[in-house]
Structure 1
Amino acid sequence: MLEFHFGTMITQLLIFIILLLLVSKFAMKPMLETMKKRQDHIDHQIQSAEKSNEEASQLIEQQKALLTQARQEAKDILERAKAQKDREATEIIHAAEERANRLINEATSQIEREKEKAIADLRNEVGEIAVTLTSKILQEKLDSQSQTKFVNQYLEQVGRLQ
């Protein structure tokens, strides 16, 4: 049956403790150090990833802010361009109206001058015809029928001149 030998048990216990000390010194310590290094490396990687994630978030926020600013600047530029377009259109219309009014005034003045010149020429011509008619009438003694004929001829001449 089962017999217990006290000496054998103590020897086995001593061998077990020595073996445990040897394993802890030569196997457990290096294994724990390796696991500690690995844990530190993993912690460092996690911190780096979190830092990179935070930096990426900040960059995204900066890019959003820059995009918003660029959109606002584009909107401002468009508004200024529209305002300038409206100002220039108003100036062009105003200048065109002024030029049209000036041309109308010049044309009206020129028409008036031409009209006055035509009236003056007509007066001169009528005066010359009247003088010529009078001199012919005075040169010839005419009866009333001949006189009427001369007047009608000169009136026809004056009518053709107009």
Structure 2
Amino acid sequence: MSFEWTSTVIAIISFGLLYWFLSKYAFGPLFGIMEKRRELVQEQISTAEQNRKQSEQQLTEQKQALQDARKEAYEIIEQARVTSSKQADDILDTAKSEASRLKNEAVKDIETEKNKAIAALRGEVSGMSVKIASKIIEKQIDEKSQEQLVDKYLKEVGGKS
């Protein structure tokens, strides 16, 4: 096997021309496309990072809003408990005072009726005493007749009750 320097030179020149044509017409546009693709990928990565940061921020805001809503709901529930407890106490106090007032009125009414009944009874007793005395005076009778007369008037009084 012999070495032919002319074919080696021609191969080197051919390779040089091929490299020059490829770099002028193929590598330039190919590298341009690859550079555009790299920029597009870099832009998408940057956009994705921004979106991720925005999502994290929104998630944090939503968690805070949820905590605030829970806190507000808890406060509303506590306020409702306090209000209902106060209203229950007010209702109980009102009921107790009303019951006390009704009891006092009933006691006063009973006392008034009792006094009226005692006054009426005294009036009747005194009236009967006068009648008995007048009957006794009119009839000067013996002791047995007097007892019968008292029993008769007592029966009359008992019948009126």
Corresponding residue for 1:114?
A: 113
Q: Distance in 2 between matches of 1:34 and 1:155?
A: 137
Per-residue deviation, 1:80: 0.5
2:100 aligned partner = 101
CA deviation after TM superposition for structure 1 residue 13, in Å: 2.9
- In structure 1, the partner of 2:28 is 29
Q: How does 1:3-22 map to 2 (within 5 A)?
A: 3-6=3-6, 8-22=7-21
Question: Which TM-score applies when normalising by structure 2?
Answer: 0.93
User: CA RMSD, aligned part only?
Assistant: 1.5
**Structure 1 length as normaliser, TM-score?**
0.92
Structure 2 gaps of 5+ residues are none
Secondary structure in structure 2 of the residue aligned to 1:141: coil
Change (3 A) 1:143 1:5: closer
Aligned residues: 161
1:43-122 equivalence runs, <5 A: 43-122=42-121
Alignment of 1:131-146 (within 5 A): 131-146=130-145
Matched residue type, 1:4: E
Q: CA deviation at 1:154?
A: 1.7
The one-character-per-residue Cα deviations of 1:95-132 (angstroms, maximum 9, x if unpaired) are: 00100000000000000000000000000011111111
Amino acid at match of 1:68: Q
Structure 1 position 3, deviation (Å): 4.1
Quote how far apart the aligned CAs of 1:76 are: 0.5
Letter aligned with residue 138 of structure 2:
Q
Identity of aligned residues (%): 36
Q: Tell me which amino acid in the other structure corresponds to 2:30.
A: M
Secondary structure class of the residue paired with 1:2: coil
Whole-angstrom distance in 1 between the partners of 2:5 and 2:69: 91
